[in-house]
């Protein structure tokens, strides 16, 4: 079958036609043709000529006339090719093209009897020959593996896929617009780091040959960004890839896009207000019309109240593993592992019993200190509860953001690293390595700061209603 295409290619060359010409000037996006003439009446003709270019996706022949569908990034338009307009040779060559070929065409706008805006083609040119057949035109491409591994075919075959990734791009652009307008500075910090940190995750390790030294792909941008706040940049953000050497799941890709921002003279309440404002702004900019109510303010409740609401358990009244496991049993939750630490048990309750229920956007405030080595101690909670000023934000049943009032007391930060060092020694592969450069930076003085991390892939999932991260990542990790 591909041989047919190669034969055609050679025939074109033999006829002196370049199947891969270098350029084609003066192309109008198809959407602009629709904008200009979408309101024509069925059967109405114009004298207005357009030059369009794109991929041939369908052909409906009628002897001495043929309809062809042409698709570009902005949309689809029908070409009407007539023998009496084009002449024999141009007509024959046009109608013997293969689906998937890229062509440019000039034609005047008219609306067919059935009401479809079309171009009466009077000239055309092959812009690139396609040597492989495109996916099936009606059912589209559905095979998941092909859609992910060969995304270009997904984009060719499925308009939904095109729309989704346009949406993703617009989401990212809107985020930048919002932050730029609010006086944030976009910065870039190292992806290759001598020490990883800022999140609990196992890193990818690589090696610098000349330095003969291992480096890590960043798992977060947090610590470098806070050093910039120390440096006086005050409002910074970075939007980029993080890498975590963990499992792949519908919510997890080994490399994923994260936004982190840090704002001096702000705390986690300010971060929450900014997040809901940002997301509402983005939703408006991309025309979100889904089921979620993203209008601020979003629901806010404490971690303690959230777990109590969905499980009936007051975790702060049972602040050690045995007590918590036993209270959970009374409430009919028997799958807690008594050998786990208390904070991990709390996290387990949150992720299994609360998170899946959080459909509408919701902030969960005030986490145990042990889970949050970079968050400031809570200003008003009783000290024995050992809570920090941290929230996570959930929507559509998944976590989308995490934020703190940043810990800026260098002595306390040093103590937290010491505690993490002990965890690391005890075998916790996700404990934070001691980052002396970061502590030194804090010793120079960091203003009170609110910081937040927002998972861009997950935000796009929420805004597009997709349930797998692989749907919103162009080239997701595959086995």
Partner RNA sequence: GCCCCCGUAGCUCAGUUGGUCAGAGCGGCGGACUUUUAAUCCGCGCGGCGAAGGUUCGAGUCCUUCCGGGGGCACCA
Residues binding RNA (CB under 7 A): 1, 4, 8, 43, 58-65, 67, 69, 78, 80, 82-84, 96, 98-99, 110, 112-116, 118, 133, 135-146, 148, 199-201, 244, 246-247, 249-252, 344, 347-348, 350-352, 371-373, 402, 430, 468, 470, 478-479
CA–CA gap between residue 63 and residue 51 (Å, rounded): 25
Per the listing, tokens 């930048």 go with 176
- The minimum distance between CB 76 and RNA, in angstroms, equals 9
Report, in Å, the least distance between residue 68 CB and RNA: 9
Q: Which residues contact 33 (CB under 8 A, 6 or more apart)?
A: 50, 52, 77, 109, 117, 119
Residue nearer to RNA on the CB measure, 118 or 257: 118
CB of 437 to RNA, least distance (A): 19
* Interior angle at CA 99, CA 145 and CA 81, nearest 5: 150
Residue 25 beta carbon to RNA: minimum distance, rounded to whole angstroms: 28
- In the complex with RNA, the residue whose CB is nearer, 4 or 418, is 4
Q: Which is nearer to RNA, 170 or 204 (CB)?
A: 204
How many whole angstroms separate alpha carbon 119 and alpha carbon 81? 8
d(CA 35, CA 70): 16
CB of 470 to RNA, least distance (A): 6
How far, in Å, CA of 11 to CA of 170, rounded? 43
Q: Which is nearer to RNA, 112 or 189 (CB)?
A: 112
- Shorter beta-carbon distance to RNA: residue 286 or 350: 350
- State which residue, 129 or 178, has the beta carbon closest to RNA: 129
Q: Which are the contacts of 226, defined by CB distance < 8 A and separation ≥ 6?
A: 262, 406, 438, 441, 442, 446, 449, 451
Q: Are strands 75-82 and 102-111 parallel, antiparallel or unpaired?
A: unpaired
**Element at 259 (helix H, strand E):** strand 255-264
Smallest distance, Å, CB 180 to RNA? 27
Nearer to RNA, 53 or 119 (CB): 119
The whole-angstrom separation of Cα 245 and Cα 194 is 16
CB of residue 319 to RNA, shortest distance in Å: 17
């Amino acid at each position: 079958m591909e041989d047919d295409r190669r034969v055609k290619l050679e025939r074109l060359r033999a006829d002196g036609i370049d199947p891969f010409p270098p350029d084609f000037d003066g192309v109008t996006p198809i959407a602009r043709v629709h904008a200009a003439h979408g309101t024509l009446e069925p059967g109405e003709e114009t004298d207005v000529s357009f030059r369009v270019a794109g991929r041939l996706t369908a052909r409906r022949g009628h002897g001495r006339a043929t309809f062809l569908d042409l698709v570009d990034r902005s949309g689809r338009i029908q070409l009407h090719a007539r023998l009496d307009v084009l002449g024999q040779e141009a007509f024959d060559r046009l109608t013997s093209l293969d689906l998937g070929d890229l062509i440019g065409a000039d034609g005047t706008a008219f609306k067919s009897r059935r009401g479809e805006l079309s171009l009466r083609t009077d000239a055309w040119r092959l812009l690139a020959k396609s040597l492989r057949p495109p996916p099936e035109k009606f059912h589209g491409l559905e095979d998941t593996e092909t859609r992910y591994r060969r995304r270009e075919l997904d984009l060719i075959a499925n308009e939904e896929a095109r729309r989704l990734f346009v949406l993703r791009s617009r989401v990212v652009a809107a985020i930048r617009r919002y932050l730029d307008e609010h006086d944030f500075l976009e910065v870039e910090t190292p992806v290759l780091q001598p020490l990883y940190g800022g999140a609990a995750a196992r890193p990818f390790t690589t090696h610098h040959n000349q330095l003969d030294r291992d480096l890590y792909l960043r798992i977060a941008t947090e610590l470098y960004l806070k050093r910039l706040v120390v440096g006086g940049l005050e409002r910074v953000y970075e939007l980029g890839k993080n890498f975590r050497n963990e499992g792949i799941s519908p919510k997890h890709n080994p490399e994923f896009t994260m936004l982190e921002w840090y704002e001096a003279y702000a705390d986690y309440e300010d971060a929450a207000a900014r997040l809901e404002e940002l997301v509402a702004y983005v939703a408006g900019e991309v025309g979100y019309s889904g089921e979620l109510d993203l209008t601020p303010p979003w629901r806010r409740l404490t971690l303690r109240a959230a777990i109590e609401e969905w499980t009936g358990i007051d975790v702060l009244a049972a602040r050690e593993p045995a007590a918590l496991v036993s209270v959970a049993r009374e409430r009919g939750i028997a799958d807690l592992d008594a050998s786990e630490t208390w904070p991990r048990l709390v996290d387990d309750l949150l992720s299994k019993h609360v998170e899946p229920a959080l459909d509408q956007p919701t902030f969960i405030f005030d986490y145990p200190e042990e889970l949050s080595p970079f968050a400031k101690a809570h200003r008003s909670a009783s000290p024995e509860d050992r809570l920090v000023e941290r929230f996570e934000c959930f929507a559509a049943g998944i976590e989308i953001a995490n934020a703190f009032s940043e810990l800026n007391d260098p002595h306390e930060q040093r103590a937290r690293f010491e505690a993490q060092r002990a965890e690391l020694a005890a075998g916790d592969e996700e404990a934070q390595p001691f980052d002396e450069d970061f502590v030194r930076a804090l010793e120079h003085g960091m203003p009170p700061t609110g910081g937040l991390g927002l998972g861009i892939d997950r935000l796009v999932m929420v805004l597009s209603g997709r349930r797998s991260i692989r749907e919103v990542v162009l080239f997701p990790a595959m086995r």
